Every structure is written in structure tokens, then in C-alpha cells.
DNA sequence: CCTTTCTTTTTACAATTGTTAAATAATCAG
DNA sequence: CTGATTATTTAACAATTGTAAAAAGAAAGG
């Protein structure tokens, strides 16, 4: 697949969220580039300010950080998902988080400064990204509910039903920290079923 | 304080986030209205689609919902805070959540449909609200970290240090459900200190 | 094929939080 | 002021999850 064709995939995904003009699409394509990252390699390391908005073209990636010496996975991004360290992108501060390829992964990257400049000339692009944030925000609020009011077992079962392939594709230690439990607890939960 | 003066307070708050033109400010003021709600009364009940964006002018409010028959507080809004049932506003679906005044509270309400129409003529208003969402999103991601990786005691202590007045102003049962624990657990935690 | 390394599971025990019920304290309406 | 309601605390016990260490299993490199 050519670079242009691959990025066209992204546009298809955007169109479902908020259709933008042909000119706006062109402007985004001009900014976009493809980045390939090998399994277990960091796309963006800890300590660097986030200046690029990524989407997963193919493969699978995660955001992780360290908490008391333990690695915590905050987010998984599958094909066509956005992956961004928002706490850094929206504040300009160096990120305490890293983006890592869980499998060999191809990302589409859009430099944030240049994208934000487009917002002035293309209000429909700003609207598209506003809607993306809104939807991401709703997901995040729902995730809080899931964490606070379901047991680890319930959350694991739900994850399994929503996305069965995760268990095959992602090391259980990452899933455990994503669920907010230890790997031992996850193993225990899996043993019961 | 006159209606106009009160809403001007809101503009002062907006200016800190993203300055907008005089015309844009006027347009927002024209849409805005004040709503007073007595303590423990719902501003917006469960089951109604969210069509208004509220800010707390004075007093204190919360968003709550029911989970297995138990009332859960999701969010507290103090003076100048935004309060919105995002899962309904951004999806158009009836909300499973309600907004309630914890004290006698004055809200500033902006009808969302009319506000969203302003986005077309005043891109700076869209930008302002995009930034509000971005910042709210970052807060929410940080809250997940707080829930997943701190004990209930740590979360209570942090809440106490960030906002000591909460404990005086808000019934402990609401604080308990906000922290994701039972009231009995919260009582136990408070007894130790 | 073998060794090394990484991942996952198992075990035993400790700590935290939940559940239920009852007691105490505070608040509110008349 | 007083009874009724609501809020908060306490107690006893159960369930869930964490911690540490060891064992088993799977993957990777030479």
C-alpha cells in the first residue's frame, strides 16, 4: 500500500466522526507521515514533550508510565485508534509517559503545532479534533465508572468480551496494570473461569 | 449583583482559558441565563437529554447517578466550575445522571444547541470550548490514575489537602461514593487519623 | 538442541475494603 | 423544644486484592 493510500484510510476514519472539506483533507495529508516501529520499541520516550498526534495504521501500541518503579499501562490503541499523551500535548509540559509498539506497528503522525495552525484556516479541522476529544473524554469518564464500581474480575470479563484478541496479542502483565491489578491477581482471576 | 455583572464573572473565567473577541463575549452573554436551585434540589433530573452547559456562579453542585440502587457522586462543581453531563451532551442520548445543588446554588446556563450554532460564526468560541474540554479531559485521565494507584486513604487525604472545605460542605456519603468507597470505609479511614 | 531469559501461574499470608446491623450524633420540621 | 428523620460511626465478619517467593511454562538466541 502506498503512503497516500495508507493515509487515506485515516481519512475514512475521520469522515465517520466529522466530514471535512476536500481542501482540509489535503492539508492534513500534507502534514502526515508514516512511522514504523518494531515490537517493544518506544515511538516516543518518557521525558519528551508530546508534539505529534498519532494514529495506529496497523499493529498495536500502548501508553505506559512508571509508578513507584512499576510499569503501568494506561491505554491500548488498535488499528485506527488515536494515541496521544494528552497531559503533555495540551499542557506543553514534558510527558511522564511513553508510547510503545506492542507489535510491529505503523503509525500515522501529524505534528501538533502544524495541525493547530490549520485550525485557523480550516475551522472544520478544529471541529473534527474537538469531536475526537469529546468522544475520547466520554470514553474516559465511562472508564472511571468501570474501575470504581466493578471488581477486577468483572473488568477482565468485560475486556475479554469486548476485545477477545487482546488476550492473545498483549502480555498479561500489561493487561493487569491496565486493569489496575497485579499480575498475580489477574492470574488468579483467569484460573477460576 | 445584576444579571449582567454575574455573567461577566464567567467571562473573566473564560478569558483565563482562551481570550475571545468582544463580539463573541456578547454573543455568549445573550445566550446565558441565571438559574437558582435550592439545596438538595435537582437542576436536571435523570432521564432528560442534556441540552444546557452550566457553570456554577455561587454555591456547590454535583453530578450523581444510580448504580445497583446506590447513589454515586461522579463530580463536584465549585464556583466557576463547569458542570455538564458529557455522556448525554456529546451523544444526544438521555442522561443517566442528574445535576443537583449540594447547597443553594446559582447556575449560569448556556443552551448547547444555540452555543453550537455560534461555533459557525465565532470560531474563537469553538476554540474556547475545545480548550475547556481538553483541560477537563486531562483532569479525568489524572483522576483514573488517582483511583487505580492510590488507596482510599491516600485519595481521601489528597482531597482533604486540595480542598479542605469539601469535608465541611458536602455530606460524607457523597464524598465516599466520589472516592469509590463505602461510607463505612470512609468513616474507618477518618477514625484512624 | 540447549541455555538463558521472560512470562505466567501457584502458594501462603497480610492488608484493605465490603457487608450487615446496630449505636450514636446531628439536623429539621412542627 | 421535641420527635422524627437523616447522617455518621462502630463492630464483627466475609470477600477481594496485594506482597513475596518459588515453580512451571514459553520464547529467543546462539
Examine the pLDDT at B183 and tell me if it is beyond 90. Answer: yes
- pLDDT by residue for chain A (193 residues), tens only, comes to 566 777 778 898 899 999 999 999 999 999 999 999 999 999 999 999 999 999 999 999 999 999 888 899 999 999 999 999 988 999 999 999 999 999 999 999 999 999 999 999 999 999 999 999 999 999 998 888 888 888 889 999 999 998 898 999 999 999 999 999 999 999 999 997 6
Examine the pLDDT at B49 and tell me if it is beyond 70. Answer: yes
Q: Based on the structure, what is the number of domains in chain B? A: 1
Considering only the beta carbons, identify the residue of A91, A133, A148 that sits closest to B133. Answer: A133
Question: Is B168 domain-assigned?
Answer: no
Question: What residues does B53 pair with on adjacent strands?
Answer: B110
**Model confidence over B54-89: pLDDT tens digits?**
999 999 999 999 988 889 999 999 999 999 999 899
What residues have CB less than 8 Å from B29, skipping those under 6 apart?
A: B4, B7, B8, B11
CA of A191, C1' of C12: distance in angstroms: 17
Locus of grid cell 449540594: B102
Q: Which residue, among A87, A96, A144, A147, would best test binding to B if mutated, counting the most B CBs under 10 Å from its CB?
A: A144
Annotate B49-61 with b (16+ C-beta within 10 A) or e (fewer): ebebbbbbbbbbb
Note the pLDDT of residue A193. 61
Q: Quote helix, strand, coil % in chain A, to nearest 5.
A: 50, 25, 25
Question: Is B44 domain-assigned?
Answer: yes
Give the residue on B whose Cα is nearest the Cα of A70.
Answer: B149
Instruction: Calculate how close chain A gets to B24, using CA atoms only, in Å.
Output: 16
Note the pLDDT of residue A7. 78
d(CA B115, CA B119) in angstroms, rounded, equals: 7
Question: Is A44 domain-assigned?
Answer: yes
Question: Is A156 domain-assigned?
Answer: no
**Model confidence over B1-40: pLDDT tens digits?**
566 777 778 898 899 999 999 999 999 999 999 999 999 9
Question: Is B150 domain-assigned?
Answer: no
Considering only the beta carbons, identify the residue of A90, A129, A149 that sits closest to B138. Answer: A90
Residues 9-68 of B with CB under 7 A from strand C: none
Question: Is B140 domain-assigned?
Answer: no
Question: What residues does B54 pair with on adjacent strands?
Answer: B83, B109
Containing structural domain, residue B11 = 3-122
Question: Is B62 domain-assigned?
Answer: yes
A127 CB neighbours in chain B (<8 A) are 119, 126
Note the pLDDT of residue A2. 62
Note the pLDDT of residue A112. 96
State how beta strands B61-67 and A97-101 pair: unpaired
Tell me the CATH number at A41.
2.60.120.10
Question: Is A8 domain-assigned?
Answer: yes
Question: If residue A190 lies in a helix (H) or strand (E), which one and from where to where?
Answer: helix A183-192
d(CA B41, CA B57) in angstroms, rounded, equals: 16
Are A137 and B90 within 8 A, CB to CB? yes
Amino acid at each position: 500500500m502506498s503512503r497516500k493510500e495508507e493515509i487515506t484510510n485515516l481519512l475514512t476514519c475521520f469522515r465517520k466522526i466529522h466530514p471535512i472539506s476536500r481542501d482540509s483533507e489535503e492539508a492534513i495529508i500534507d502534514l502526515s507521515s508514516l512511522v514504523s516501529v518494531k515490537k517493544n520499541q518506544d515511538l516516543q520516550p518518557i521525558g519528551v514533550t508530546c508534539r505529534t498526534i498519532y494514529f495506529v495504521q496497523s499493529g498495536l501500541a500502548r501508553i505506559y508510565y512508571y509508578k513507584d518503579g512499576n510499569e503501568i499501562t494506561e491505554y491500548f490503541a488498535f488499528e485506527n485508534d488515536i494515541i496521544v499523551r494528552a497531559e503533555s500535548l495540551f499542557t506543553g509540559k514534558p510527558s511522564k509517559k511513553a508510547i510503545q509498539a506492542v507489535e510491529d506497528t505503523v503509525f500515522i503522525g501529524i505534528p501538533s503545532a502544524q495541525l493547530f495552525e490549520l485550525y485557523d484556516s480550516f475551522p472544520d479541522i478544529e471541529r473534527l479534533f474537538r469531536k475526537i476529544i469529546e468522544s475520547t473524554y466520554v470514553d474516559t469518564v465511562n472508564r472511571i465508572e468501570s474501575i470504581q464500581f466493578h471488581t477486577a474480575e468483572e473488568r477482565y470479563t468485560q475486556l475479554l468480551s469486548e476485545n477477545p484478541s487482546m488476550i492473545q496479542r498483549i502480555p498479561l502483565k500489561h493487561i493487569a496494570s491496565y486493569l489496575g491489578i497485579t499480575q498475580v491477581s489477574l492470574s488468579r482471576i483467569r484460573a477460576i473461569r
